[in-house]
Structures are given as C-alpha cells and as structure tokens.
C-alpha cells in the first residue's frame, strides 16, 4: 500500500507532465511479462517518449482541469501511458511499432490536439510523418526549388561556354 505522501508526490508529477503534453497513448500492460514491459520501455525511451505505469485514480485526478480530461474514463484496469511533450506523433509511432512485434499488447486510447483517439485513431496518427520528417521534407522542397533556380540561371552561361568550346575544338581540328 502506498502512503499518502508518495501518492501526493506521484499526483504532482503527473499534473506537471500532463499540463503541456503534445500527445499521449494509453495502453494495457495486463498479460505482459516483465521482459516484454522492459522491451516496451526500451523502445519508447529510444524514441524519446516518456512511459509510466500509473494508478488510475491518480491519473484521473491529474487530468482534471486539463485537455486530457477527454481520456479520463479510459483509465481502467492496468494502465500505462506513453507521452511526449513536443512531438505529437512520436508516442503513437513507438507504441504501434511495438504492437507489431507483440500482438497481445493492447492500445486503449490516445490523445492529440485536444481530441480523444480510439485504437484506430492512434494507428492512423502513427502513419503520419513525425516532426523531424516533416522538417526534412520541407527543407528538401525549399532546397529543390533553389537548386532548379540556380540551374536555370547558370544554363545560358553553360550554353555559351559549350558553343565556344565546340568552335575551339573545330578550329584545332582544321589546323591539324
């Protein structure tokens, strides 16, 4: 049994984490053995996602007055949460990737952008590109336009240079 001071400390931690979370996925770790939970923790940690098994009553209290109140009713049975403060796709991607390797693993619900997501919504969110991937795509698009513009600006000079080189080569051939 957890004493009151520990519960208050856990509640304060959860409230602090929940106040500005970008995305969260609620999972059930019921039926998983210790090595499977450790593998899940490692996968989430590698992805930069926070993970914790929570007491449902504390988690419900921590969601009160926050955007996360839409998922408060999903805190039932044994619940673990995966969350990220800035990347809205990372928890869904990491949890969905882990689920591929372990079919008994269950996704209960998710949260992103003030909305509650069901298991299918979490799966759909996981299929979206992450923030770094979106940045790379945008940079590639901007860089591609600049490269094409530079190629167009250099083209007339290249054409003149190749005509002059051809004339020079032809003159040398005649002289020889």
Tell me the pLDDT tens digit for each residue of 49-81.
Answer: 999 988 988 889 988 888 888 888 889 888 899
38 burial class (0-12, 13-18, 19+ CB within 10 angstroms)?
exposed
Q: What is the per-residue pLDDT for 24?
A: 92
Residue 25 has pLDDT above 90, yes or no: yes
> Taking the CB of residue 91, how many other CB atoms lie within 10 A of it?
32
| C-alpha to C-alpha distances, 138 to 113, 124, 133, 150, nearest whole angstrom | 22, 22, 9, 19
Dihedral pair phi/psi, residue 41, rounded to 5°: -60, -45
Tell me the pLDDT tens digit for each residue of 141-168.
Answer: 888 777 777 777 776 767 777 777 888 8
pLDDT-based confidence at 42, cuts 50/70/90?
Answer: very high
């Amino acid at each position: 049994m957890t004493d009151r001071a520990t519960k208050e400390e856990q509640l304060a931690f959860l409230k602090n984490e929940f106040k500005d979370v970008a995305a969260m996925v609620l999972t059930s770790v019921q039926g998983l053995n210790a090595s499977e939970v450790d593998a899940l923790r490692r996968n989430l940690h590698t992805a930069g996602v926070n993970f914790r098994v929570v007491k449902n009553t504390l988690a419900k209290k921590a969601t009160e007055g926050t955007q996360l109140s839409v998922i408060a009713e999903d805190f039932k049975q044994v619940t673990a949460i995966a969350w990220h403060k800035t990347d809205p796709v990372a928890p869904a991607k990491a949890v969905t990737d882990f689920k591929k390797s372990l079919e008994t693993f269950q996704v209960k619900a998710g949260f992103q952008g003030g909305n509650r997501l069901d298991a299918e919504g979490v799966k759909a969110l996981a299929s979206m590109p992450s923030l770094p991937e979106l940045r790379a795509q945008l940079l590639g698009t901007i860089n591609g336009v600049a490269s094409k513009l530079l190629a167009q600006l250099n083209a007339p000079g290249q054409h003149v240079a190749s005509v002059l080189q051809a004339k020079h080569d032809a003159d040398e051939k005649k002289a020889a």
